[in-house]
Amino acid sequence: MSQVKVALVGCGGMGKSLISQLKTVDGAELVAGVDPFETAREAFAEEYGVPVFESLTALLAEGNLDAVVVAVPNSGHAPNTIEAAQAGKHVFCEKPMALTLADCQAMIDACADAGVKLQIGQVLRYLPDFRQAIELVEDGTLGVPLHGSICRYGPPKDKWADGHWRDDPSVVGHNLFEVSVHEIDFARCIFGKPVAVSGWDISFDPKSPLWANATTGVIEFESGAICLLTEGNFNAIGRSEVELSGTAGSIRFHWGNDFVFKPFSEEAEGLDAKSGEIAEGVENGVRRETREWIEAIQNDTPTTIPGEDGMANIEIALAILEASKTKTRVELPLKR
Ligand SMILES: NC(=O)c1ccc[n+]([C@@H]2O[C@H](COP(=O)([O-])OP(=O)(O)OC[C@H]3O[C@@H](n4cnc5c(N)ncnc54)[C@H](O)[C@@H]3O)[C@@H](O)[C@H]2O)c1
């Protein structure tokens, strides 16, 4: 298939960001948009000049398309992916893949049964600083990665906005799904297969069940490595930092700011750079994830961030919450 006709399901902020990159990819053609809200629909039709539909079902009944990008609120990822796959459409689904393992598995199965490609939007691993760290692991420069400390947190807030889906736990899940699933994915890229998890989820304001928590997870990996994750909305100063320690040296970076690699050996070459230097010549992460999905469709090759990756991230998020609730160390895989 040389030309891939793509529709966007969920014409909001992330959907439009995905489409604006996808439009630069050879062989990808935007053919429609879907959104239940008239204002979002009309704005999309005006900006992109394509027909718009109220629902995926209406689009599938009328549209001529090969593939969909699913960028609806989190609880809608599984039903839209499954409906599109059952209609024979390839799917790019935003993170978090879904809110339960059963839904993740159903998405994987629906795509496999229909013979369509499923790519999950775990874009953080493609952002320049994170990509640089992964490369230093993959080419052996860091040695064996044995310890990680990754954090992203800021001040608490009552809510996002009146009526916003991010304030509904049944739609968003938890900060671990909405935000930290990115850092969890990155940790797996660095350390490999996880085997157990411990976790703590502390509330700073019981009136804000979603956006005033300090969540800490410790992930143990098959290699013997451990990675500490500290995430949430609880700290007035805020911090966004990654520290990775390997047998040959250490990495520390502040996302979008600076990047340091310091080897233990004085003969080995280190790196001390601004993020702008790290980003030079690196493909936009959103462009890369959508381009790779289109190429997998065109060439009938496996996707680069398949459903299994999205599901492994959800499993760790669920395990951190279970460990916090039961005050136990939770072994992986979780019981299905
Ligand atoms: N990869 C990233 O870094 C990143 C960044 C932001 C958001 N996201 C993810 O993208 C998704 C969308 O987030 P957003 O920030 O664009 O939210 P948003 O609220 O800006 O957009 C969501 C859109 O989906 C529409 N929608 C709701 N239900 C729908 C349905 N059943 N069918 C079609 N459209 C529907 C809404 O009307 C809205 O226009 C979320 O899952 C979010 O986690 C990912």
CATH C-level class of 125-285+314-331 = alpha beta
Please report the pLDDT score of residue 1 as a whole number: 67
Q: Where are the alpha helices (DSSP H) in 285-336?
A: 285-299, 307-326
How far apart are the CA of 286 and the centre of ligand 1, in A?
15
**Which strands make up the sheet holding 52-53, listed edge to edge?**
52-53, 28-34, 4-9, 67-70, 90-94, 118-121
**CA 182 – CA 87 distance, rounded (Å):** 29
Instruction: Report residue 121 as tokens.
Output: 């939007």
Is the Cβ–Cβ distance between 298 and 117 less than 8 Å?
A: no
pTM for this entry: 0.98
How far apart are the CA of 278 and the centre of ligand 1, in A?
29
Please report the pLDDT score of residue 336 as a whole number: 81
Please report the pLDDT score of residue 209 as a whole number: 87
Task: Name residues of the chain where pLDDT drops below 50.
Answer: none
**CA 5 – CA 14 distance, rounded (Å):** 19
Question: Up-side HSE of residue 284: CA atoms within 13 Å toward CB?
Answer: 13
Instruction: Render pLDDT for 245-273 as a digit per residue (tens, 0 to 9).
Output: 999 999 999 998 999 999 999 999 999 99
**CA 242 – CA 275 distance, rounded (Å):** 13
How far apart are the CA of 164 and the centre of ligand 1, in A?
11
What would the CATH number be for the domain defined by 4-124?
3.40.50.720
| Domain boundary assignment for the chain | 4-124, 125-285+314-331
Please give the number of the atom of ligand 1 that sits closest to the Cα of 124. 3
Contacts of 80 (CB under 8 A, 6+ apart): 9, 10, 56, 68, 70, 72, 93
Please give the number of the atom of ligand 1 that sits closest to the Cα of 40. 39
**By alpha-carbon position, which residue is closest to atom 25 of ligand 1?**
10
Please report the pLDDT score of residue 109 as a whole number: 98
Within 6 Å (CB) of ligand 1, which residues are found? 9-15, 34-37, 40, 71-74, 76, 94-95, 121, 123, 178
How far apart are the CA of 142 and the centre of ligand 1, in A?
37
Residue 160 belongs to what H/E stretch? none
Nearest to 45 by CA among 14, 73, 19: 19
Mutate to test the pocket of ligand 1, among 34, 72, 130, 290 (most ligand atoms within 8 A of CB): 72
